[in-house]
A and B are shown apart, each in its own frame.
Chain A
Amino acid sequence: MKQRDIKRLSLILLFAPFALWILLLIVLPHLGMFYISLREKVAPRTYEFGLENYINFFAEPIYWNTLIRTGSMSLLVTVLALLLGFPIAYYIAKIAGHRSRGALFLMCLIPLWVSDLIRAFGWILLLRETGIISSSLQWAGLVSTPVEFLYNDATVIMGLVYTVILFMIVPLVSTLDGMDDAMVEAGYNLGGNGPTVLRRIIIPYAMPGIVSGCIVVFMLTAGSYLTPILLGGKNSSWFTEQIYDQFITRYNWESGAAFGFLLLAFTSLVVWGGLKLSGQTLNSTVARS
């Protein structure tokens, strides 16, 4: 009997910090945000409930266009990160020797230890009109006038891929690491060629890692703020910028909350769709332990 009481007590003691954390800092703030997004300001300090903030969002094409643009560019970044990152992850997990494997993996993680701000700053120094690439091109005589590489969509996408690609590589390396080399050999022995083995054996095996990497990369990209602003300039039209604008510049918290909720709902919907399409669940991918 006493043993059970101790178990009970320790369960409660261990559950309390978890519950306080999730309840006070995750669940309640999001419920609060939803609640505030349903308020309309009718007069100073008087509010009514209604869908006004959401109607405003859909009535103004610039708002929902930005959200769709953010979503589609984030999808593009996710696909690019997967295409560019998969060969790297495969190299680290399967081809590199035992010694270089750890070193390469650590090198992939280096950008993680450096702030977003510094990475974006580095890209600015490389790509701006007076930047390293532009002056090198001039010095080499390839161009005659300075070239501006900043402030276009291609640069924003490249910068975002750079920022998030390691979140694709890490889960891929850890799934591919668990794959038995014999599976690939068997594929070849049964007469498969490179592409067939890749399509029929390696990719299905790596699916949980692929999906988990894609989810994290997509969410991080859609929610990123610094990279689009610094590399894309004033007209990068990223949705988080709209949220910031509503909150800080216009001081319209009700509509900012609605925008925040829409971003969350939209990205969750995309993730849900992706999980359904790939036949995975959140438990088998991101929460895999």
Chain B
Amino acid sequence: MAIKPNTAFLASYQIYVALFFVFLAAPLVAAGMFAFNDSQFPSLPWQGFTLDWFFNDSEPKLGMFHDRRLLRGLYYSFVIASGVSLLSVFVGTCNAFLFVRCKFPAKDFFYIMMVLPLVIPGVILGISILLLASNIANGAEEALSLDLDFLRPGIVLVVLGQFSFITTITSLVIIARLKKFDASMEEAAYNLGASRVRVLRTITLPFLFPAMAAAGIVAFLVSFENFNTTLFLVGSEAPLTITMYDRMVKVGSTPVLNAVSFFLMIGSALLALVSILVQRDKPQT
């Protein structure tokens, strides 16, 4: 400890930190706990514990695992997130090699271009991609009478829209790892007569793998919970966040939304845990 402040100051400091974490947890606890309340409304008083909001199969307390629209939303979210995650890890890995290993003119400029998507408001990303895709689709239809359906709002555009800024995140994660790589390991392999492809496959990629897996998980989660960009690009295949928002605005809050929230929180927590475990360095022997 650097400073030795007096105990009263330190105590109030610690109380502030504790209060801050209560503040962080409060809405999550509120969203989670009403999933188990045996009532039609997510509010106090507490009516007793139930799992109906997960498993009950009939109205008026239709559980989330029997709610067809929520399940469909979950399925589309899963498809979209998997696509985004694979694409963005691939491009992120290429970017890592590009920015860590290669020399080319205007590198600093391109690096800023790579970071930029992270600070562009998600709403703007959504509308600008929507505008471009629609204009291309309209142009193709008028000039060539081609029906480019994938450029209309729908799953492909949602994947592209999310990919456009999530790739920055995956690139930054993988770049950080590649920078730690000890180049002498590759040199040793070359000296032993290994080919470039073999070195990449047996030494460099295994070293990068934890970061790639972690980046993939982060991409998956960010895609799963994205709303702002998705809102403008969504077609009939609405992912879960959009379905939930619709339900919230049209039906009002019902405990089934708490059940979904609880389910998503647990799912994210598990995935986050996995990403931390794969990134943890194994003790070198």
Contact = CB atoms under 8 A, between A and B. Distances in A.
Q: Do A and B belong to a common assembly?
A: yes
B164 A26 contact: yes
A287 B118 CA distance: 11
B31 A216 contact: no
Chain A contact surface mostly: helix
Contact of A225 (B32, B117, B231): B231
Nearest to B271: A113
Contacts of B135: 32, 36
Nearest to B171: A18
A193 B274 CA distance: 44
Chain B contact surface mostly: helix
B49 interface: no
Contacts of B130: 247
B26 interface: yes
Interface stretch (A53-61, A203-211, A253-261, A272-280): A253-261
A195 B3 CA distance: 12
Contacts of B51: none
B263 to A, nearest CB: 10
Contacts of B113: 22, 26
Contact of A222 (B116, B121, B128, B221): B121
Contact of A264 (B120, B227, B248): B120
B91 A117 contact: no
Nearest to A165: B24
Contact of A116 (B17, B132, B225, B258): B225
A199 to B, nearest CB: 14
B44 A283 contact: no
B118 A216 contact: yes
A162 interface: yes
B269 interface: yes
- Interface residue range, chain A: 35 or more
A21 B121 contact: no
Given A14-B102, A33-B131, A91-B17, A267 B121 contact: yes
B127 A33 contact: yes
Interface in A199-231: 215-216, 219-220, 222-226, 230
A25 B129 contact: yes
Interface string A235-252: 000001001100110000
B144 interface: no
A181 interface: yes
Contacts of A216: 118-119
Contacts of A117: 225, 227, 241, 244-245, 248
Interface of B: 1-3, 5, 13, 16-17, 20-21, 23-32, 34, 41-45, 90-91, 94-95, 97-98, 102, 104, 108, 110-125, 127-132, 135, 160-161, 163-164, 167, 172, 175-176, 179, 196, 221, 224-225, 227-228, 231-232, 241, 244-245, 248, 253, 257-258, 261, 264-265, 268-269, 271-272, 276
* Nearest 10 Cβ contacts at the A-B interface: A223-B121, A122-B27, A115-B225, A29-B128, A122-B31, A181-B2, A25-B164, A113-B268, A14-B98, A184-B2
